[in-house]
């Protein structure tokens, strides 16, 4: 019988790509998610019964234990960019990762992949980065043979970065930390690395994953505007102003008891934007998996076209302007 891999957060942005690749390699895949009724699409990644979503809350011991029962390997893709309700950084990225690793170890599972993030640092001023580091430490404590993947900003069809900024309305595009550097990495490349780790094709340890290009936030926005054929003023928002804005929005979310969700800008995100998000010199990365990372210029047009003035017809209209009457 084919080996079984449990993917926590397997219907999310990164998880779905991992699930698809594992299914293509013949694994049985258990997709552990909070809302399995909304994750039915993952079944199409394999033959009937090969990929199945199951109910699991990473904050609950019993459901995590049930999700890893009988599995041969585990991949944890769960993470949050902002806190809402009971989904706090500590509960999800630190305690949640520890819970998955502890359950995996108790079940005798020695192959585990933890999707972390570049910038994970126990001493960071950002709680996001601190809890990512705490999650890594907990995973390695319970499963010493685990593989930790630290990707830079991830791009792909369902991403929340390029899609978000491409979809902003108005003549001004505000950015916080215009000079902060990123190393965009393609989601399917991250998934490929995760699957190779499950296969045992790379030794245990921490790997920093970045694409072939290092760009500032401003340059990424310039490239985005070029792809969607729009002209806007890119306005750099000073960190002090952004911190005030994020603090106010966080306060409003707290005062409304979650009725308002701060999906605009949090104070913790401002802290993150103060540091470059690039691969450390000498760090192990894609080369250890035999993967050549994809250039973001080659992928962005395939999904950002919908933000062009005339969408899919933009190129046709531009060509028509050259026709003579």
User: Which pLDDT tens digit goes with each residue over 32-48?
Assistant: 999 999 999 999 999 99
CA torsion, ordered 298, 299, 302, 304, to nearest 10 deg: -110
User: So where are the chain's domains?
Assistant: 4-158+184-210+276-293
The answer, yes or no, to whether residue 317 has pLDDT greater than 90, is no
Kindly report, residue by residue over 53-69, the tens digit of the pLDDT: 999 999 999 999 999 99
The share of the chain scoring above pLDDT 70, in percent, equals 99
Q: Average of pLDDT values for 137-150?
A: 98
Kindly report, residue by residue over 253-293, the tens digit of the pLDDT: 999 987 889 999 999 999 999 999 999 999 999 999 999 99
Residue 191, classified by CB atoms within 10 Å of its CB into exposed (0-12), middle (13-18) or buried (19+), is buried
Decide if domain 4-158+184-210+276-293 falls under CATH 3.40.50.720.
yes
Q: Which residues of 259-296 are buried (b: 16+ CB within 10 A; e: fewer)?
A: eeebeebbbbbbbbbebbbbbeeeebbbebbebebbeb
The pLDDT value given to residue 258: 79
The pLDDT value given to residue 231: 96
Strands in the chain per DSSP E = 4-8, 28-33, 51-55, 73-76, 111-115, 147-151, 154-155, 172-176, 181-182, 185-186, 205-209, 215-216, 233-237
Question: What is residue 261's DSSP assignment?
Answer: -
The pLDDT value given to residue 1: 67
Kindly report, residue by residue over 116-136, the tens digit of the pLDDT: 999 999 999 999 999 999 999
Name the average pLDDT for the chain.
95
> How sure is the predictor about 11, in pLDDT bands with cuts at 50, 70 and 90?
very high
Kindly report, residue by residue over 197-242, the tens digit of the pLDDT: 999 999 999 999 999 999 999 999 999 999 999 999 999 999 999 9
The answer, yes or no, to whether residue 324 has pLDDT greater than 70, is no
The answer, yes or no, to whether residue 150 has pLDDT greater than 90, is yes
């Amino acid at each position: 019988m084919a080996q079984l891999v449990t993917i926590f957060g397997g219907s999310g942005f990164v998880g779905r790509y991992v699930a698809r690749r594992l299914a293509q390699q013949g694994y049985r895949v258990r997709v552990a998610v909070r809302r399995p009724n909304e994750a039915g699409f993952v079944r199409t990644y394999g033959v009937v019964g090969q990929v199945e979503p199951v109910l699991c809350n990473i904050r609950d011991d019993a459901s995590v234990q049930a999700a890893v029962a009988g599995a041969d390997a585990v991949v944890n893709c769960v993470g949050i960019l902002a806190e809402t309700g009971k989904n706090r950084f500590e509960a999800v990225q630190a305690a949640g990762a520890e819970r998955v690793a502890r359950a995996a170890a108790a079940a005798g599972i020695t192959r585990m992949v933890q999707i972390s993030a570049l910038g994970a640092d126990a001493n960071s001023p950002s709680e996001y980065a601190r809890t990512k580091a705490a999650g890594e430490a907990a995973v390695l404590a319970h499963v010493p043979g685990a593989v930790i993947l630290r990707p830079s900003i991830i791009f792909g069809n369902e991403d929340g970065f390029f899609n978000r900024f491409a979809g902003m309305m108005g003549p001004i595009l505000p950015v916080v930390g215009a000079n902060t550097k990123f190393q965009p990495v393609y989601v399917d490349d991250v998934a490929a690395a995760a699957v190779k780790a499950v296969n045992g094709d790379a030794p245990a340890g921490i790997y920093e994953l970045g694409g072939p290009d290092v760009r500032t936030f401003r340059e990424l926005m310039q490239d985005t505007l070029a792809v969607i054929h729009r002209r806007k003023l890119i306005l750099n928002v000073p960190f002090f102003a952004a911190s005030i804005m994020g603090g106010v929005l966080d306060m409003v979310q707290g005062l409304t008891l979650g009725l308002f969700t701060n999906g605009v800008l949090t104070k913790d995100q401002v802290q993150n934007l103060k540091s470059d998000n690039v691969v450390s010199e000498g760090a192990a990365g894609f080369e250890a998996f035999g993967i050549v990372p994809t250039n973001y210029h080659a992928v962005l047009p395939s999904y950002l076209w919908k933000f062009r003035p005339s969408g899919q017809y933009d190129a046709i209209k531009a060509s028509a302007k050259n026709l003579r009457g």
